[in-house]
Chains A and B, each alone.
Chain A
Amino acid sequence: MRWVSVIGAMALRQLKRFFRARARALSTIMMPLMWLLLFGIGFSTAFKGIGFRSVIGTSYISFLVPGIVCMTMFVSSFMSGISVIWDRQFGFLKEVIVAPAPRTFIIIGRVLGDVTTSLIQATLIMMIGVAIAQNLAIYNIPIALLYCLLLGMIGAGLGTMLALSINSIEAFQALVSFIILPLNFISNIFYPLNRMPIWFKIPALLNPITYATDALRILLIHRGAIGLGPDALVLIVLASIVLVAGAYMFRRTSIE
């Protein structure tokens, strides 16, 4: 049962680091909160009565909450995954590399910890969303969080892979904003996909955030375009691929 202790210890490390770096935790939650409060409320108030309801069937803010929850989940887990680069920079990765524990367990523990911290943040945003939007199907939140969990695994896995494949801190900072922003916009977070032209739809359908958001919309506001089953399938397949590939990369990593 040694692997349980390795996975548990690494997950706990990630949690401890998260709760200790309050400023960072606050800043990751501030971004989705601003989208929700400033953009969401501003946008829906400005265009009130112009036909949002006829397009999306509910208020814009209710439409936005599932999207922002997924955004929180993805960005936060992606950023935690990418923090492997700091372990490399500050040497902790070496400590792990000379340890006799299988690296697969190390990385699984790490991802598990990262997903947990992201889930905490997503839940917080969800609660704020519930308070603002008021008409969300609260009883479906536990299932919604399962979809979030899958999205988090994808995010943390992708972040880890990216961190392991680039060596310069400068390149990484540029790359992060270059990846995160488009990923958030080329999705269904802010607008319903069925109104979008085909050149937009295709990349959006390649984006895992789209499937999680769709599932959350079905669960929370009973409106979605793809369906709970296909959403789950895509997310599970993607999460498996990303995790296996991430673990493979982590096993092979060295510090030459």
Chain B
Amino acid sequence: MTEYSIIVKDLRKKYGDIEALRGVTFSVRRGEIYGLLGPNGAGKTTTIHILTTVIRPTSGYAEVAGHDVVKEPDEVRKRIGVVFQDITLDLNLTVYENLWLHGKIYGIPSNELKKRIEEVLDLIELKDWKNKLVKNLSGGMKRRVEIARALLHRPEVLFLDEPTLGLDPNSRMKIWNYIKMLKKEYNITILLTTHYMEEAEQLCDRIAIIDRGKIVAEGSPEELKSIIGREVIYVKFTGTPPISILKTLEHVRDIKLIDKNRIEITVDNAPKALPEIIEVFYKTGAQIEEVSYKRPTLNDVFVYLTGRELREEESNFNEHLRMIMRRRYLT
């Protein structure tokens, strides 16, 4: 038993002239939730596909649950659960039948399988739906069934490719809760990809920011935000601001007057800096009317590192397009 469930070294994948992955390296510890955060086309899904043995890398090394994904794909397959970005359920079977079929293919004995199906249905709260055809389920429910199915054979590592893509906020919260519960109760290792920064921030112990086939930064959400480091405090006041004294404070990095009664103070530790700042204002007799402060988001980190946004609008359009296409074929 090594400390790491996933080890990836200099992974590369070429499609013709296009390099989808340009040397990706990272490791995921046992029991950790690790996120790949990046815009569409960054290489997240390609990475997942290689790690789940769906495609082969052009070069580089990847190991999942102690086995080489290229040399021992079957050993890897036994130990992983996968929820792909697109629904991979059989829409013309019921929830129960989908789970049953999966269990049979994974070689779970019949009586054990029955027990486990009830167990996972309980987990995703879909017991009442077990005899409904999957095609009649909402998008969020389908996703939940897929998570249940991926857990049925008790994998060591769970892969979730954009687990809440295209879901409404309510369903998204539900899925987040399941993922948190999985970590707490099963201590399973989870690798998830997302281009929603709140998702990465809410769920992940560590995040790799990936862009154009390369990891540009890695760390806990806090660590990543500290790359930018600075938090900004806004103070609205009446009277004369004590600028010269503020400048001497330990955590203050920069001060800017926005207009004659608002000031922007850049600090590197807002919780510590705030009381000091308030005290300075109080002592010098300037009146504070409002205080607010802004912490950097992962999106700010992404912009800082790549000079671009996570491009939510564009991806929403693609999602929309895909949903239309799917609906057309399904009905």
Give the residue of A93, A94, A106, A169 whose beta carbon is less than 8 angstroms from that of B105: A106
Contact B329 A90 (CB under 8 A): yes
Contact A256 B55 (CB under 8 A): yes
Residues of A within 8 A of B89 (CB): 91-92, 95
Contact A100 B106 (CB under 8 A): yes
Whether a CB of chain A sits under 8 angstroms from the CB of B10 is no
Interface size on A, residues (CB 8 A): 29
Give the shortest distance, in Å, between A97 (CB) and chain B (any CB).
6
**Which stretch in A3-11, A66-74, A123-131 binds the other chain?**
A3-11
> Which residue in chain B gives the minimum CB-CB distance to A92?
B90
> Which residue in chain A gives the minimum CB-CB distance to B80?
A98
Contact A91 B86 (CB under 8 A): yes
Whether a CB of chain A sits under 8 angstroms from the CB of B93 is yes
Whether a CB of chain A sits under 8 angstroms from the CB of B82 is yes
Given contacts A16-B93, A254-B55, contact A6 B88 (CB under 8 A): no
Contact A8 B87 (CB under 8 A): no
Give the shortest distance, in Å, between B238 (CB) and chain A (any CB).
62
Residues of A within 8 A of B92 (CB): 16-17, 20-21
For chain A, residues 85 to 112, give those with C-beta under 8 angstroms from any C-beta of chain B: 89-101, 106
Contact A99 B90 (CB under 8 A): no
Contact A2 B86 (CB under 8 A): no
Whether a CB of chain B sits under 8 angstroms from the CB of A255 is yes
Kindly supply a per-residue 1/0 record for chain B positions 71-107, scoring 1 wherever the CB is within 8 Å of any chain A CB and 0 otherwise.
0001001101010101111111100010011101111
Give the residue of A2, A10, A91, A169 whose beta carbon is less than 8 angstroms from that of B107: A2
Whether a CB of chain A sits under 8 angstroms from the CB of B299 is no
Residues of B within 8 A of A10 (CB): 101, 105
Whether a CB of chain A sits under 8 angstroms from the CB of B5 is no
> Which residue in chain B gives the minimum CB-CB distance to A9?
B104
Give the complex CA separation of A154 and B329 in angstroms.
Answer: 28
Give the shortest distance, in Å, between B5 (CB) and chain A (any CB).
17
Whether a CB of chain A sits under 8 angstroms from the CB of B54 is yes
Contact A90 B87 (CB under 8 A): yes
Contact B104 A94 (CB under 8 A): no
Given contacts A5-B104, A13-B93, A21-B92, contact A98 B52 (CB under 8 A): yes
Given contacts A13-B90, A16-B97, A91-B88, contact A99 B106 (CB under 8 A): yes
Give the shortest distance, in Å, between B252 (CB) and chain A (any CB).
53
Give the residue of A17, A100, A106 whose beta carbon is less than 8 angstroms from that of B78: A100
Contact A6 B80 (CB under 8 A): no
Give the shortest distance, in Å, between B324 (CB) and chain A (any CB).
15
Give the complex CA separation of A97 and B133 in angstroms.
Answer: 23
Give the complex CA separation of A97 and B92 in angstroms.
Answer: 19
Give the complex CA separation of A17 and B55 in angstroms.
Answer: 29
Contact A90 B105 (CB under 8 A): no
Residues of A within 8 A of B55 (CB): 254-256
Contact A90 B104 (CB under 8 A): no
Give the shortest distance, in Å, between B249 (CB) and chain A (any CB).
56
Give the shortest distance, in Å, between A73 (CB) and chain B (any CB).
23
Give the shortest distance, in Å, between A229 (CB) and chain B (any CB).
39
Give the residue of A6, A89, A91 whose beta carbon is less than 8 angstroms from that of B84: A91
Which B residues fall within an 8 A CB radius of A? 15, 52-55, 74, 77-78, 80, 82, 84, 86-93, 97, 100-102, 104-107, 133, 149, 329-330
What are the 4 A-B residue pairs with the smallest beta carbon separation, nearest first?
A: A9-B104, A91-B88, A100-B77, A95-B88
A-B CB contact pairs (8 Å), 18 listed: A5-B104, A6-B105, A8-B104, A10-B101, A16-B92, A17-B92, A17-B93, A21-B92, A91-B89, A95-B89, A98-B77, A98-B82, A99-B106, A100-B74, A100-B106, A101-B105, A101-B106, A254-B55
Known contacts A8-B104, A9-B101, A100-B77; 12 further A-B pairs (Cβ under 8 A): A2-B107, A9-B104, A10-B105, A13-B93, A13-B101, A90-B88, A94-B82, A94-B88, A99-B105, A100-B107, A101-B105, A101-B106
